[in-house]
Amino acid sequence: MTVKAPDLIPMSLGTNVKHRIDAWAKVTGQALYADDIRWPNMAYGVLVASPYPHARIVKIDLEPARTRPGVLAAIAGPGSVAPYGIMPSTQDEQAMATEKVIYLGEPVAAIAATTLDAAREAAHHILCEYEMLKPVLRPGVEQARPLIDPVHPERPQKDLFKEVDLEFGDTAEGFVHAFKTAEDTFFYQGSAHVAMEPHSALGYWTPEGRVELVTATQTPHYVQRELAVALGIDTYRIRVRTSVVGGGFGGKSELFPHEIATVLLSRACGRPVKITLSREEVFYAHRGRHPVSMKVKTAWDNNGKIQAMDFQSVLDGGAYASYGLATTYYTGALQTVSYAIPRYHFHAERWYTNKPPCGPKRGHGTTQPRALLEVHFDRVARELGIDPIELRRRNLTPPYSVTVNQLEVGSSGLQTCLDKVESLSNWHARHVRHEPDRGLGFACSTYLSGAGLPIYWNSLPHSGVRMAVNRDGSVQVFCGLTDIGQGAETMLVVLVAKALGINADRIRVHTADTATTPVDLGSYSSRVSMMAGNAVLEAAQRMHQILKDSVCAHKGVEPSQVTQDGEVFHVQGDEAVPFTQAVLWAEEDIGPLTTFGSYTPPKVLGHYKGAGVGPSPAYSFTACVADVKVDRGDGRIRVHHLWVAHDLGTPLHRPSVEGQIRGGVVMGLGEVLMERQVFNPDGRHRGPHLLGYLIPSIQDIPPITVAVVGEPDPKGPMGAKEVGQGPLNPVIPAVINAISDAVGIDLNETPVTPDNVLRALDQQSRRQRL
């Protein structure tokens, strides 16, 4: 038999990385997601969940389940030795509820068996008795109706989770002298991440008393840290590794009950245990977009320049804290980064309710206020008789400036983004088209390239990289970052290949393992390219120096006589030295080659309480124009085209950048037109499955024109800024503004359903008749 070598498909040409480094593993079925992994003697776990949104637990009897065939362990009780939570100051979760359940789907017990079927079957035999309480389904409802049991009666502030009040400059004065004032209210509906991969984790309590956890998470280092709190054991005993992750979008950014349960079940039965959530359970685990009610008031001078803003938001947080503290601040933090607002007052409240906990979803807390802000600016433009894009232009926050709330803005391509979508969409011709019920709408937005402060305040680096060059000429990069599908690992290879001037196929990356990779805080707040990118560049530069030093030493020349070109060191007046030779010389000189790099963001400027939320090393900017047609008959919105310009500094990997922009834009389109995580009056989710909760399918996608703009940012690695989250934000208000342009209705809530449109059209015609 003759053996044919597989056809060679280069992933990269020289230092140029053409394709994602994980793509082949994913198209051949080789990539291992958590649920694909099976450890020897592994057991299967399931969670038993509360069928009620709010109830006292009277009794949980595990005994009948314990004797079912195949059952290895059944557990109930808090599970954790101490309450845990992602934000150190608001730790309020336990793995399983003990006295009370506070959302439908909250785990109360867990069971492990030899097969999944056996575990599922036995779970039905756990006897749970509850005493139902009235569910709290709206923020602050207990204030109006004091007889309702609060979600968290033990707290002095009851269900008011957090109240924030910040003022920068004298807002009242801005309103007194205004040429014009305006006011709008808006309700932004909650939504879910719906990563295609349901959460899954494998836990093992080893005979030596160590903990191994392999899980689909965006934040392995935080999971390790929270797990240490929850289990009450030393952090160093716990190793958390991230499997290949099938999408995150914020939904896998903290420790979840199923992750703890795998470890506890494993301790109870002595075997590794895997728990994979069902799609329904994912809707209950949630941590998705907060529903937010908002109100904005603005003051303007006669040139259409904003003088003051008052912004209020009320967040419906669901049952637990999650990232809610940060979310609350984020609903007020970035307004000033797009627009130069000289006086700003911000008030926010987040309330607990008997619903699955809300948390961070792509755009974390900035998506909701952005929708209102951009809709409001359009209405102000209309009243002032100024073109909507022109109104924005007059108010842009200048690059390299400091905002009134002490945020340091660096490079900004927002102006270019505006210009770009304005010309691409042929904006100024829109009113001569005369197609009835069709209109264009504009919006812009801004996002962080990583949060300026870590979740646990300390002065340690936010990202670390260890780099080794082996004798075989390979470059091994170790970094705690997590590729959740966005292409973070490819980004590392791109930067290392460029920085070392070597062929990209020499480079291998090892990521997301608390035992072998230096801490990177995780894939959240669009921080990875900025922070891990800068860290890996530092490690590469140090490696380059080592190699060059050895070339100089072995050739007996000065550094100025050596230049590098690709994989060759040119030595003045001597033979060139290949990269691989330089590696051998360097190892001869100093031993195995290892360097380190790390990144810590610049110091935060502001000193007020809450100043930690908002600062970032660099901000990305986006502008969007939507072209829509409204069907007056059935209220349906058809989006004909979207133009999106995004300023991300230097694009590091074009296909990934384009993919992130398109993916974010389409997720935004889903949020504005179809998605909602909503509940019946009895607290049940209206449709915890993919027919009840619709996300965009391939048939829902209009043509989308993507423009990548901007200049290299001085703080970004090779000038790069974020692209993972920002492009979602302007889509929602752009579509709403386009609807207003098309048929003259002002919509004040999301999603824009045909019902809402018909109601607004109806009100409009009644007003016209009056």
Residues near ligand FES (CB under 6 A)? 196, 247, 485
Number of residues engaging another protein in binding (CB under 8 A): 60
Decide which of another protein, ligand FES, none touches 640; Cβ closer than 5 to 8 Å per partner kind: none
Q: In what order do the strands lie in the sheet with 637-647?
A: 438-448, 619-630, 637-647, 704-709
Question: What mask, x for binding another protein by CB under 8 A, covers residues 96 to 135?
Answer: --------------------x-------------------
The answer to whether residues 650 and 488 touch, using CB atoms and an 8 Å cutoff, is no
Report if residue 149 touches another protein, rule: CB under 8 A. no
Residue 751: asked if its preceding bond is cis (omega within 30°), the reply is: yes
According to DSSP, the β-strands at 619-630 and 593-599 are: unpaired
Q: Between 505 and 658, name the residue whose CB sits nearer to ligand FES.
A: 658
Return the CA Rg of the chain: 27
C-alpha distances in Å from residue 259, one per residue of 71, 112, 266, 274: 19, 13, 11, 9
- 425 — alpha (psi -120 to 50), left (phi > 0) or beta? alpha
Decide which of ligand FES, another protein, none touches 47; Cβ closer than 5 to 8 Å per partner kind: none
Alpha carbon dihedral 381, 367, 187, 392, in 10-degree steps, equals -10
The answer to whether residues 238 and 224 touch, using CB atoms and an 8 Å cutoff, is yes
Binder among 27, 147, 432, 770 for another protein (CB under 8 A): 27
The answer to whether residues 148 and 142 touch, using CB atoms and an 8 Å cutoff, is yes
Q: Which stretch binds another protein (CB under 8 A): 15-23, 51-59, 182-190, 326-334?
A: 15-23
Which residues are CB-neighbours of 263 under 8 A, at least 6 positions away?
A: 203, 204, 205, 211, 213, 227, 231, 273
Question: Nearest Cα to 477, choosing from 499, 462, 460?
Answer: 499
Residue 23: CB minimum distance to another protein, A: 4
Residue 215: CB minimum distance to ligand FES, A: 18
Q: Between 20 and 350, name the residue whose CB sits nearer to another protein.
A: 20
Report if residue 658 touches another protein, rule: CB under 8 A. yes
- The interface with another protein within residues 673-732 (CB under 8 A) comprises 689-691, 695, 697-699, 701, 704
- What 3-state DSSP class applies to 604? coil
The answer to whether residues 381 and 145 touch, using CB atoms and an 8 Å cutoff, is no
The answer to whether residues 370 and 729 touch, using CB atoms and an 8 Å cutoff, is yes
Question: Nearest Cα to 546, choosing from 586, 592, 597?
Answer: 586
Decide which of ligand FES, another protein, none touches 142; Cβ closer than 5 to 8 Å per partner kind: none
Q: Between 485 and 614, name the residue whose CB sits nearer to ligand FES.
A: 485
Decide which of ligand FES, another protein, none touches 358; Cβ closer than 5 to 8 Å per partner kind: none
The tokens of 633 are what? 């008959």
Residue 648: CB minimum distance to ligand FES, A: 20
Binder among 12, 15, 17, 35 for another protein (CB under 8 A): 35
Residue 199: CB minimum distance to another protein, A: 12
Q: Between 196 and 460, name the residue whose CB sits nearer to ligand FES.
A: 196
Residue 29: CB minimum distance to ligand FES, A: 14
Decide which of ligand FES, another protein, none touches 194; Cβ closer than 5 to 8 Å per partner kind: another protein
The tokens of 382 are what? 């209309």
Decide which of another protein, ligand FES, none touches 240; Cβ closer than 5 to 8 Å per partner kind: none
Residue 645: CB minimum distance to another protein, A: 16
Binder among 14, 19, 406, 748 for another protein (CB under 8 A): 19
Binder among 1, 3, 6, 681 for another protein (CB under 8 A): 6
Q: Between 276 and 331, name the residue whose CB sits nearer to ligand FES.
A: 276
Give the span between the Cα atoms of 399 and 476, in whole angstroms: 38
Alpha helices for 278-387 (secondary structure H)? 279-285, 324-333, 335-338, 367-384
Residue 668: CB minimum distance to another protein, A: 10
Decide which of ligand FES, another protein, none touches 249; Cβ closer than 5 to 8 Å per partner kind: another protein
Residue 690: CB minimum distance to ligand FES, A: 7
Residue 164: CB minimum distance to another protein, A: 32
Angle, helices 388-395/414-424, rounded to nearest 10 degrees: 170
Report if residue 746 touches another protein, rule: CB under 8 A. no
Return contacts of 15-20, CB within 8 angstroms, 24+ apart.
15/497, 15/498, 15/501, 15/502, 15/503, 15/504, 15/566, 16/497, 16/504, 17/490, 17/493, 17/494, 17/497, 17/504, 17/653, 19/655, 20/487, 20/490, 20/653, 20/655, 20/656
Q: Between 23 and 233, name the residue whose CB sits nearer to another protein.
A: 23
Q: Which stretch binds another protein (CB under 8 A): 19-27, 80-88, 157-165, 368-376?
A: 19-27
Report if residue 652 touches another protein, rule: CB under 8 A. no
Provide the 8-state DSSP code for 105: T
The tokens of 437 are what? 């019920």
Nearest residue to ligand FES, scored by beta-carbon proximity: 196
Q: Between 3 and 698, name the residue whose CB sits nearer to ligand FES.
A: 698
Binder among 485, 601, 612, 617 for another protein (CB under 8 A): 485
Report if residue 36 touches another protein, rule: CB under 8 A. yes
Decide which of ligand FES, another protein, none touches 701; Cβ closer than 5 to 8 Å per partner kind: another protein
Report if residue 665 touches another protein, rule: CB under 8 A. yes
C-alpha distances in Å from residue 25, one per residue of 201, 227, 244, 289: 21, 30, 10, 32
Report if residue 608 touches another protein, rule: CB under 8 A. no
Angle, helices 257-269/220-231, rounded to nearest 10 degrees: 50
The answer to whether residues 478 and 617 touch, using CB atoms and an 8 Å cutoff, is no
Give the span between the Cα atoms of 543 and 380, in whole angstroms: 55
- The interface with another protein within residues 226-285 (CB under 8 A) comprises 244-247, 249, 276, 278-279
Residue 624: CB minimum distance to another protein, A: 14
Q: Which stretch binds another protein (CB under 8 A): 167-175, 196-204, 547-555, 564-572?
A: 196-204
Report if residue 9 touches another protein, rule: CB under 8 A. yes
Report if residue 20 touches another protein, rule: CB under 8 A. yes
Provide the 8-state DSSP code for 541: H
Q: Which helix (H) or strand (E) holds 511?
A: strand 507-511
Q: Phi and psi (nearest 5°) for 674?
A: -140, -25
Binder among 1, 2, 3, 29 for another protein (CB under 8 A): 29
Give the Cβ contact number of residue 436 at 10 Å.
10
C-alpha distances in Å from residue 146, one per residue of 53, 153, 319, 355, 600: 19, 12, 19, 19, 48
Residue 196: CB minimum distance to ligand FES, A: 4
Question: Nearest Cα to 761, choosing from 629, 626, 633, 628?
Answer: 633
Decide which of ligand FES, another protein, none touches 516; Cβ closer than 5 to 8 Å per partner kind: none
Q: Between 433 and 689, name the residue whose CB sits nearer to ligand FES.
A: 689
Contact footprint for another protein (CB under 8 A): 4, 6-7, 9, 18-20, 22-33, 35-36, 38, 116, 193-198, 244-247, 249, 276, 278-279, 484-487, 655-656, 658-659, 662-667, 689-691, 695, 697-699, 701, 704
